[in-house]
Amino acid sequence: MTLSLYSDEHYMREALKQARYALAEDEIPIGAVVVLERQIIARAYNQTEKLRDVTAHAEMLALTAAANHVGNKYLSDCTLYVTIEPCVMCAGASAWAQVQRVVYGAHEEKRGFRRHGNLLHPRTELATGILAAEGAELMQQFFAQKRK
């Protein structure tokens, strides 16, 4: 099976690469990319331990990089791809940035934003479940290693 260059799966695979970088650095393995006009304009992974910053989630870092790339705090023509359901903070940041579309892989039962209702911008489209098993597997690996 070949993927279209512009499919959700293609961009989610790029986010999964970022999550693997996080895993290699002993960070919670979540990755994110921001896409504008079929081009990835920002990539990031969780760096809360490395930066000693509780806000250094993949989504936050990717949104900041994307805003710097476009020269605007609003990302209304962008799609945020993230391997795991964003937390309340990251969903709120995507709402403030007016992201056009949020696509995530696996649900996050404990800290995912959807437990609290729809926190995205009213015009933001949401797609879920894209390569969810791959993102969930990285999380399981990470936490299994922590329990050893």
Q: Which residues are annotated as a binding site for Zn(2+)?
A: 57, 87, 90
- Can you list the pairs that 84-88 forms with residues at least 24 positions away whose Cβ atoms lie under 8 Å? 84/30, 84/108, 84/112, 84/135, 84/136, 84/139, 85/112, 85/113, 85/114, 85/128, 86/57, 86/59, 86/112, 86/113, 87/57, 87/111, 87/112, 87/113, 88/113, 88/116, 88/119
Give me the catalytic one of 59, 85, 109, 125.
59
Polymer length of the chain: 148
Is 59 part of the annotated catalytic residue set?
Answer: yes
Q: Which residues are annotated as a binding site?
A: 57, 87, 90
Q: What are phi and psi of 61, to 5 degrees?
A: -65, -40
Active-site residue list: 59
